[in-house]
Amino acid sequence: MAELPSALALGQSLRNHTCSARELTESFLAEIDRREPELHAFLTVSREEALAAADDADRRLAAGEPLSPLDGVPFAVKDNLCTKNVRTTCASRALEHFVPPYDATAVSRLRAAGCVMLGKTNLDEFAMGCDTGSSAFGPTRHPLDPARVPGGSSGGSAAAVASWEAPLALGSDTGGSVRQPAALCGVVGLRPTYGRISRSGLTGFAPSFDQVGLLARTPADCAALLALTAGFDPLDATSARRPAESFADQLEAGVRGLRIALLQEGLDEAGPAVRRSTERAAACLESLGARVEPLSLPFLREMLPAYHILTAAEASSNLARFDGVRYGLRAPGAGWRESIRESRSAGFGMEVKRRILLGTFVLEKEQRDACFSRAQRLRRRTAADLREALGRFDLVLLPTAPETAWRWEEERDPLALYRSDLFTVPAAIAGLPAVSVPFGEENGLPIGVQFMGRAWEEALLLRAARTLLQEV
């Protein structure tokens, strides 16, 4: 990554008039044209809109009135975030032609800061998946090896940043959908604290877990992107009333004096190269002055099934609205019941149907106590365990994904795919922030390690991520 400029460096070049925002935008659009036939990271490229926004940025920059450090810098948007007058499909036939009349708050804040939207990126349908393979419009390929997966569900956003089709991207992270593809593609992926970034305009999968996440090439870029998107939003009832802050002030402070926990559970389920990278990261942090100690979380393996039960239950309720009556795909039927059934059958792919059926099953009266209520109790208990651990430690270090990017040709059943969320689910269950940073590789494929921290301490996470990335 060293040979490519950061998004902040691009913004500085624009302010120095080294290049124009139009020239910068055109260079990224050209790279999209070059890479997309093979990569398929984008579902929609908003070329004319991007060039118009770039021209507006050039007028501000010429007048010496930039709106933000990223004014004129392009970004991409995962296609489950609403974008005014630009179609938002959620990678589903159900919404193939849906064009929202408004922007998601995270998108509107970036536009207001002068950032230039390049288009909408591919994802697993309705963000339900781990490899971007359930997209109704075809999979995204890994930017280093098209025979491999980029991860998911924000695989399009991660691949776009890793391939330099975009310097920044928005994604969403329900159980790891930003961090896992970031690890597989070799970029930085941040899931902020639940409530830090508004969910208004984000199509709901499991709202008590969903968060808008950020993808970039450096922690400093993530900090700048977070500063522009974070903050209270009256349009989102879960938005936290937190004061505005800078997330970049601590980036250079290092890790000396920090107490960092190295998670023990689950390491035996990670591949040898992933284990070595995680242990090497721990040793590196110790050499830089941090105190690293082992941490046991006995319920780690139970978190994964609990997560899938709870998110499937929420998805079952959320996706009931996609019935073809008001918007989206509408299939003919003999009556209204038949029309709704046919619309949902034709509109949803197999993975979405699987999760709807699972969610409907665990919410049935006969199964509720044994499945849903038990998972809720486990969620409360594990969240309390994590908060207690983070009362003793500043950060928790753990792998991001159990393995590197696998080949598309490998046959994987759903349970094997769900296992890729093993290390990302804990932060999601507890609503805590976590960041994946590239650290190591296997056979030329990136490996990511992950920091998990206390609520509202994204600045500390990004500080640790920057320190570690400098040691790669």
Structure tokens at 242: 């937190």
Structure tokens at 215: 């993808």
Instruction: Label residue 14 by pLDDT band (50, 70, 90).
Output: very high
- Model pLDDT for residues 152-192, shown as the tens digit of each residue: 999 999 999 999 999 999 999 999 999 999 999 999 999 99
Average pLDDT rounded to a whole number, residues 246-274:
94
Average pLDDT value for the chain? 95
Torsion sign, CA atoms 19, 22, 23, 26:
positive
Residue 153 falls in the annotated catalytic set:
yes
Instruction: Label residue 2 by pLDDT band (50, 70, 90).
Output: very low
Q: Of the listed 153, 154, 157, 198, which one is catalytic? A: 153
Lowest mean pLDDT among 298-302, 349-353, 374-378, 381-385: 298-302
**Three-state secondary structure call for residue 80:** coil
Which pLDDT score, from 0 to 100, does residue 343 have? 81
* Cα radius of gyration (the chain): 21
pLDDT surpassing 50 at residue 202 = yes
Tell which residue, 397, 396, 394, has the closest CA to residue 457: 394
- Model pLDDT for residues 38-67, shown as the tens digit of each residue: 999 999 999 999 999 999 999 999 999 999
For residue 428, give every residue at least 6 positions away whose Cβ sits within 8 Å of its Cβ, in sequence order, or none. 173, 174, 175, 176, 191, 209, 211, 307
Do 355 and 316 form a contact (C-beta atoms < 8 A)? yes
> 451 or 336: whose pLDDT is higher?
451
Q: Of the listed 78, 92, 163, 343, which one is catalytic? A: 78
Average pLDDT rounded to a whole number, residues 80-108:
97
Instruction: Label residue 342 by pLDDT band (50, 70, 90).
Output: confident
pTM assigned to the model: 0.96
Residues in the chain: 472
Which pLDDT score, from 0 to 100, does residue 1 have? 41
- β-bridge mates for residue 451, sequence order: 397, 435
Average pLDDT rounded to a whole number, residues 188-212:
97
Give the integer Cα–Cα distance in Å for 255 and 395. Answer: 10
Q: Which amino acid is at 279?
A: E
Q: Of the listed 6, 177, 200, 239, which one is catalytic? A: 177
Write down the CATH superfamily of domain 7-255.
Answer: Amidase signature (AS) domain (3.90.1300.10)
**Residue 353 burial by Cβ neighbours in a 10 Å radius (0-12, 13-18, 19+):** middle
Average pLDDT rounded to a whole number, residues 380-396:
95
pLDDT surpassing 60 at residue 124 = yes
Locus of tokens 């938005």: 239
Do 212 and 193 form a contact (C-beta atoms < 8 A)? no
Q: Which amino acid is at 27?
A: S
pLDDT surpassing 50 at residue 310 = yes
pLDDT surpassing 70 at residue 11 = yes
- Model pLDDT for residues 231-252, shown as the tens digit of each residue: 999 999 999 999 878 899 999 9
In the chain, ranges of CATH 3.90.1300.10 domains: 7-255
Do 450 and 400 form a contact (C-beta atoms < 8 A)? yes
Number of DSSP helices (H) and strands (E) in the chain, helices first: 16, 11
Residue 177 falls in the annotated catalytic set:
yes
Task: Give the containing element (helix H, strand E) for 44.
Answer: strand 42-45
Which pLDDT score, from 0 to 100, does residue 458 have? 98
C-alpha of 307 from chain center: 17
Give the integer Cα–Cα distance in Å for 252 and 468. Answer: 11
Which pLDDT score, from 0 to 100, does residue 403 have? 97
Looking at residue 443, the DSSP 8-state letter turns out to be T
Average pLDDT rounded to a whole number, residues 79-97:
97
